[in-house]
Amino acid sequence: MRLSFAALAAAFLVAGAAPAAPVAGVAHDVIESPAMPEKLSAFGLFRPGGATLSGEVVPYVLRTPLFSDYADKSRGVLMPQGASAEIDGDGVIRFPVGTVLIKSFSWPDHEGGRPVETRLLIHRKDGWVALPYIWDADGKDATLALGGRRVPVAFTSPDGATHSIRYAVPNKNQCKECHSKSGVIEPIGPKQRNFVALMQRPTRSPPIRYAGNMVPRAALPTWDDPKSGSVAERARAYLDVNCAHCHNPAGSASNSGLFLRWTDDPTGVNYGIGKRPTAAGRGSGGMDFAVAPGDPDNSYMIYRLESTDPGIAMPEVGRSTVHKEGAALLRQWIAEMPKASH
């Protein structure tokens, strides 16, 4: 099934909202070339002098997003005018050449909420390219950081705790760790079941409607909204978004035998239930099972999620703090499982 750019937005749009008029300035020739501009402004994806997206970019949100040190993330997608996207049988949105996925990271109480980093994922003729940009001190533009960087960031988490971290902007190769599938870089967030495109004037509580004859897959639950699904369903959504980009048969953690996609069997050993460690090491914390039903304290999945030790922590990249609320949900999920009988 193929959807035009307009239909892709309309498939998940906010009812009654109208798109902003296109704004000249997006450099489609730069986007589709092999160029890696030093300055983010060379792409024309933002209005001049700041971090406001161009009117040609469609903002989007994810029902359940990836945790990244409590950062707020602003997302947008740009597709060439007249191009179309394809939603495959797995619900993955296949974007055409010339597409840019944009994600900016900020914290409300850090430097007035200005972005610290913007990552671009650009679909070019030879595949997807990941480019990280760090915003300049004046907030007017951002500079390419292919080698990555550590940026001091201070923020307050939802529990009121204050944090001072050296936020890790990934280098170009680290982007591949999460975005690699069978050795090829691909987007991991925008899937039909998790993707909500917004128009420029969203209403408060948007009903979702689908375009054409599309038969949508059920929406992914929102991990922290009890109204969106059961504890188990929301825990699985969390694992799908935060872990399954590596933990799948074609991902970088395929040799672990731990597969955490929404579509995987949530009762089997490959989902971690009663699964023993693949190899001995500190990562298991001496525990026998990834998920020990009824016993989160003896489940090394929780042990790794609650660690910041580089040799233990999972995910391996993308965070330097523990997502206490996410870990609490997974603890509840495991605690509610019937204990295995012996």
Distance in angstroms (rounded) separating the CA atoms of residues 244 and 251: 8
φ, ψ dihedrals at 302, nearest 5°:
-70, -40
In the prediction, which pLDDT does 44 show? 96
pLDDT higher at 258 or 203: 258
Give the side-chain half-sphere CA count within 13 A for 176: 8
Percent of the chain past pLDDT 90, that is, above it, reads 55
Q: What is the mean pLDDT of residues 219-237?
A: 95
Domain assignments of the chain as residue spans, ordered by start: 2-197, 226-335
Percent of the chain past pLDDT 70, that is, above it, reads 82
Whole-prediction pTM: 0.85
Q: Provide CB contacts within 8 A for 162, sequence distance 6+.
A: 154, 155, 156
Nearest to 82, CA basis, from 3, 199, 21, 26:
3
CA distance readout (Å), 78 to 54, 58, 62, 85, 294: 9, 6, 16, 11, 45
Distance in angstroms (rounded) separating the CA atoms of residues 236 and 271: 10
pLDDT higher at 87 or 256: 256
Res. 196: pLDDT tops 70: yes
In the prediction, which pLDDT does 203 show? 36
In the prediction, which pLDDT does 117 show? 96
Which amino acid type is present at position 259?
Answer: F
Confidence of residue 339 (pLDDT cuts 50, 70, 90): confident
Tens digits of per-residue pLDDT, 27-46? 999 999 999 999 999 999 99
Confidence of residue 177 (pLDDT cuts 50, 70, 90): low
CA distance readout (Å), 193 to 28, 162, 220: 29, 34, 5
Asked whether 114 and 24 are in contact (CB, 8 A), the reply is: no
Asked whether 239 and 171 are in contact (CB, 8 A), the reply is: no
Angle at 97 between CA 94 and CA 100, to 5 degrees: 80
In the prediction, which pLDDT does 93 show? 82
In the prediction, which pLDDT does 186 show? 80
Res. 215: pLDDT tops 70: no
Q: What is the mean pLDDT of residues 133-139?
A: 95
Res. 283: pLDDT tops 50: yes
In the prediction, which pLDDT does 5 show? 47
In the prediction, which pLDDT does 189 show? 72
Res. 206: pLDDT tops 50: no
Q: What is the mean pLDDT of residues 90-100?
A: 86
Q: What is the mean pLDDT of residues 189-209?
A: 57
In the prediction, which pLDDT does 342 show? 45
Per-residue burial over 287-301, b = 16 or more CB atoms within 10 Å of its CB, e = otherwise: bebbbbbebbebbbb
Instruction: Choose the weakest-confidence range: 171-180, 266-275, 290-299.
Output: 171-180
Q: What is the mean pLDDT of residues 191-195?
A: 86
In the prediction, which pLDDT does 219 show? 86
Res. 4: pLDDT tops 70: no
- How many other C-beta atoms can be found within 10 angstroms of the C-beta atom of residue 307? 17
